[in-house]
């Protein structure tokens, strides 16, 4: 697999159409923009629509005070998160923090283009000249001030902060509020400029059937009608990454110009309508397309492509893929060795290159030295040095299923005979069931950010930290009855597990606050929110029974009920009844096992309506409340 590029063949683009089913109020989309909060906004003839990735929310006159008209011609994003809106006959509006505010221009003007510049000025192209709204004041530029034409249809700001203005009679350059001359102006005289797009190299300018490249104010390239791939009128432009220019047309879909070649994407390729009103390019090479009566189309490059025999892969069955520190790929095959894919070239390593077997089960790399390791079924732990593999034998018939170097520099090797730990190529310890592993058949290992090591075995998975294994047996309460084959830790510290035949599971943690006595427990509950309290019965200053009564007394005037679970060495029924009469919800006897505690938490959660600890503890850690443990000093 390999990441796609913005200039991948246009026929490989994936397409999705968003319309009425997703809440779009009308299927003709005249303008598109992104606001800084990530929303996509679409201008339609029946209101503005805000898209969150799943559905559109529509803003119309009937439910949006301050919005003067539903027929929206253009939308543009502001730098402070605001949205600027141009209507068909009712001027311009600013939307910010849920409020629509009119911009004071003549109400009978069609707003064709809006741009907020880097200094915070809002330029508004109308059917009767150019307006600048800044610091609550409105100024104008018209034909009387030297503007090429009265109707302004396109606006763009270049890297020097200058404003390029496309009118119905040519292109203008505005700098410091005044119209300035530039070398390419003569080439645009008399042209009805429909769209202008700025990129790193300069400016693209389009008239009906003409495309002009302007750099440093001068014409660098010109595509006249005979050089364009279509006779259709150009309606929109959008500059994409990698020097790509997207071109929307009236009736002939979208074209992509890359280098000097054009590619076409029209209705035959799946576009919902050939007439394109608006384009919005993304940094990843994808494109939003607003069409006439066809809704919004989203085109995106494929994120992966297949690497196989044409690229030199020695076997099309790749059992493992590993990305090295230099960005190259190592691919394990079942019977045809280890493949290395770098800069478009493939090299295969086999037993002739020192591997103990051509069946490769696992691949790893040293964080310190960059050394590549490969595991095989015959107990072979292989490392690459100067183009040849060398071997450490772990024993006959031992399968090496995963290789990992820890932050401390240990090399951990998961095998069918336990968990091996090596230091500088020497085996220093073999962990087995005698040390606490659930099983000697270890499938996968992962080092978490807290330094713990997670191991998946045939009968369950385990967390190894400070020399101790904490096991999660298959089918135990709160844990999956599945065979775990892989681990992943996300940004919130949640451990995700890939399984055999049962999809993906996750193991969620919680925050724990520990106090030394009952008075501290009561104070902690008063000052903080907790999901559950684990209350030791025997504590100094105030015991667990008295602390529970105090907590229940503080709750007597509210609706919230905090679950409290007693923890005590006394296991008689009388002791249990005493805890429950003090206001506790559950009871576990010492020594407390993880399975016993999980069962108790789930039991009290099902009975307590407001303090649903199981639900709230199953949220991401960044949003969950902690658990409180009260225990005497040890």
Angstrom distance (rounded) from CA 58 to CA 51: 9
pLDDT of residue 568: 81
- On whether both 443 and 425 belong to a single domain, the answer is yes
- On whether both 484 and 537 belong to a single domain, the answer is no
Contact 537, 567 (CB under 8 A): yes
Specify the 3-state DSSP secondary structure of 407.
coil
Q: What is the DSSP string of 77-146?
A: E-TTS-EEEEESSS-EEEEETTEEEEE-S-TTPPEEEEEE-TTS-EEEEETTEEEEEETTEEEEE-GGGT
Angstrom distance (rounded) from CA 150 to CA 19: 35
Cβ within 8 Å of residue 561, ≥6 positions away: 555, 608, 609, 610, 611
Decide if 301 is inside a domain.
Answer: no
Helical ranges in 233-299 per DSSP H: none
What is the pairing mode between strands 586-589 and 152-157? Answer: unpaired
- On whether both 479 and 532 belong to a single domain, the answer is no
Angstrom distance (rounded) from CA 171 to CA 185: 6
CATH code of the domain covering residue 607? 3.40.50.2300
Contact 72, 32 (CB under 8 A): no
The two three-digit tokens of residue 74, written as one number:
């253009």
Helix axis angle for 544-554 and 573-581, nearest 10°, is 30
279 beta partners: 289
Which whole-number Å values give the CA distances from 575 to 77, 266, 567, in the listed order? 66, 77, 11
Cβ within 8 Å of residue 59, ≥6 positions away: 47, 48, 49, 50, 67, 95
Of 98, 117, 141, which residue is a domain's last? 141
Decide if 577 is inside a domain.
Answer: yes
Angstrom distance (rounded) from CA 156 to CA 195: 9
Angstrom distance (rounded) from CA 624 to CA 373: 40
What is the pairing mode between strands 129-134 and 122-126? Answer: antiparallel
pLDDT of residue 213: 95
- On whether both 487 and 529 belong to a single domain, the answer is no
The two three-digit tokens of residue 435, written as one number:
């040390």
Nearest Cα neighbor of 67 from 40, 49, 53 is 49
Angstrom distance (rounded) from CA 200 to CA 205: 14
Decide if 187 is inside a domain.
Answer: no
Residue ranges in the chain modelled with pLDDT below 50: 1-6, 477-478, 480, 609-625, 633-634
502 beta partners: none
Which whole-number Å values give the CA distances from 306 to 21, 334, 360, in the listed order? 33, 18, 20
Decide if 271 is inside a domain.
Answer: no
Q: What is the DSSP string of 157-205?
A: E-TTS-EEEEETTEEEEEETTEEE--TTHHHHTT----EEEEETTEEEE
What is the pairing mode between strands 92-96 and 14-18? Answer: unpaired
Decide if 559 is inside a domain.
Answer: yes
Of 507, 527, 555, which residue is a domain's last? 507
- On whether both 363 and 499 belong to a single domain, the answer is yes
203 beta partners: 198, 214
The two three-digit tokens of residue 404, written as one number:
């990992």
pLDDT of residue 304: 64
Angstrom distance (rounded) from CA 495 to CA 488: 6
Angstrom distance (rounded) from CA 107 to CA 127: 11
**Which residues span the domain enclosing 330?**
309-507
Nearest Cα neighbor of 277 from 230, 237, 235, 231 is 235
Cβ within 8 Å of residue 541, ≥6 positions away: 517, 518, 519
Which whole-number Å values give the CA distances from 314 to 355, 361, 380, 491, in the listed order? 15, 15, 21, 36
Contact 236, 279 (CB under 8 A): yes
Tokens 């009978």: give the residue. 108
pLDDT of residue 211: 96
Decide if 359 is inside a domain.
Answer: yes
At residue 122's C-alpha, the angle toward residues 168 and 87, to 5°, is: 60
Decide if 265 is inside a domain.
Answer: no
Helices and strands, number each (H, E), in the chain: 6, 54
Of 450, 475, 507, which residue is a domain's last? 507
Specify the 3-state DSSP secondary structure of 588.
strand
Predicted TM-score of the model (pTM): 0.56
Give CB contacts under 8 A, 24+ apart, made by 209-217.
Answer: 209/233, 209/234, 210/234, 211/247, 212/184, 212/187, 212/188, 214/184, 217/173, 217/182, 217/183, 217/184
- On whether both 374 and 445 belong to a single domain, the answer is yes
- On whether both 431 and 523 belong to a single domain, the answer is no
Report how many domains make up the chain. 3
The two three-digit tokens of residue 514, written as one number:
């520990």
pLDDT of residue 619: 33
- On whether both 395 and 500 belong to a single domain, the answer is yes
pLDDT of residue 107: 66
Decide if 13 is inside a domain.
Answer: no
Angstrom distance (rounded) from CA 132 to CA 118: 13
- On whether both 467 and 523 belong to a single domain, the answer is no
Contact 428, 422 (CB under 8 A): yes
Cis check: omega of the bond before 591, within 30 degrees of 0: yes
CATH code of the domain covering residue 397? 2.130.10.10
How far is C-alpha 531 from the chain's CA centre? 29
pLDDT of residue 5: 41
Contact 555, 562 (CB under 8 A): yes
- On whether both 370 and 319 belong to a single domain, the answer is yes
- On whether both 567 and 616 belong to a single domain, the answer is yes
- On whether both 481 and 371 belong to a single domain, the answer is yes
Angstrom distance (rounded) from CA 560 to CA 498: 37
């Amino acid at each position: 697999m390999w990441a796609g590029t913005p200039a991948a063949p246009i026929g490989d683009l994936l397409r999705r159409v968003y319309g009425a089913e997703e809440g779009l109020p009308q299927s003709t989309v005249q303008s598109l923009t992104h606001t800084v909060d990530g929303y996509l906004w679409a201008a339609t003839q029946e209101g503005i629509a805000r898209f969150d990735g799943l559905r559109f929310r529509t803003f119309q006159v009937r439910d949006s005070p301050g919005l003067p008209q539903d027929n929206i011609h253009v939308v543009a994003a502001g730098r402070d998160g605001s949205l600027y809106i141009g209507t068909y006959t009712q001027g311009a509006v600013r939307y910010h923090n849920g409020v629509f505010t009119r911009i004071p221009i003549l109400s009978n003007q069609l707003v064709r283009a809006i741009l907020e510049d880097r200094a915070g000025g809002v330029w508004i192209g109308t059917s009767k000249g150019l307006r600048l709204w800044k610091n609550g004041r409105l100024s104008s530029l018209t034909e009387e001030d030297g503007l090429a034409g009265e109707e302004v249809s396109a606006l763009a700001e270049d890297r020097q902060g200058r404003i390029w203005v496309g009118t119905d009679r040519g292109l203008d350059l505005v700098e410091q509020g005044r119209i300035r001359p530039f070398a390419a102006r003569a080439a645009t005289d008399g042209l009805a400029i429909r769209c202008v797009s700025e990129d790193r190299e300069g400016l693209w300018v389009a008239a009906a059937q003409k495309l002009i490249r302007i750099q440093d104010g001068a014409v660098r390239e010109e595509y006249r009608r005979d050089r364009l791939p279509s006779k259709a009128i150009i309606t929109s432009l959008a500059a994409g990454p990698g020097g790509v220019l997207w071109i929307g047309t009236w009736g002939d879909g979208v074209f992509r110009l890359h280098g000097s070649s054009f590619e076409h994407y029209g209705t035959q390729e799946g576009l919902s309508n050939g007439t394109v009103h608006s384009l919005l390019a993304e940094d990843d090479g994808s494109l939003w397309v607003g069409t006439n009566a066809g809704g919004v189309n989203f085109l995106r490059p494929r994120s992966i492509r297949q690497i196989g025999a044409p690229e030199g892969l020695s076997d099309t069955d790749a059992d493992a893929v590993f990305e090295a520190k230099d960005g190259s790929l190592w691919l394990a095959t079942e019977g045809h060795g280890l493949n290395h894919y770098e800069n478009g070239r493939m090299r295969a390593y086999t037993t002739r290159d020192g591997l103990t077997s051509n069946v490769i089960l696992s691949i790893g790399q040293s964080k310190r030295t960059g050394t590549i390791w490969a595991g095989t079924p015959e107990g072979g732990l292989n490392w690459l040095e100067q183009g040849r593999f060398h071997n450490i034998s772990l024993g006959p018939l031992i399968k090496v299923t995963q290789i990992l170097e820890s932050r401390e520099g240990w090399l951990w090797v998961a095998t069918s005979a336990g968990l091996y730990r090596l230091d500088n190529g020497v085996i220093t310890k073999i962990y087995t069931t005698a040390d606490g592993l659930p099983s000697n058949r270890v499938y996968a290992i992962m080092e978490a950010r807290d330094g713990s090591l997670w191991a998946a075995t045939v009968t369950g998975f385990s967390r190894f930290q400070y020399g101790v294994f904490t096991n999660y047996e298959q089918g135990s309460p709160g844990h999956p009855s599945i065979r775990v084959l892989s681990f992943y830790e996300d940004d919130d510290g949640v451990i995700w597990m890939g399984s055999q035949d049962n999809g993906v599971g996750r193991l969620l943690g919680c925050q724990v606050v520990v106090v030394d006595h009952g008075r501290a427990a009561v104070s902690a509950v008063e000052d903080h929110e907790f999901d559950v309290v684990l209350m030791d019965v025997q504590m100094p200053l105030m015991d667990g029974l008295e602390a529970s009564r105090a907590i229940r007394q503080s709750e007597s005037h509210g609706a919230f009920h905090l679950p409290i679970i007693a923890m005590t060495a006394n296991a008689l029924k009388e002791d249990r009844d005493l805890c429950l009469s003090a206001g506790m919800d559950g009871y576990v006897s010492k020594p407390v096992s993880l399975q016993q505690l999980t069962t108790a938490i789930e039991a009290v959660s099902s009975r307590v309506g407001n303090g649903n600890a199981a639900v709230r503890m199953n949220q991401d850690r960044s949003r969950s409340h902690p658990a409180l443990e009260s225990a005497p000093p040890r």
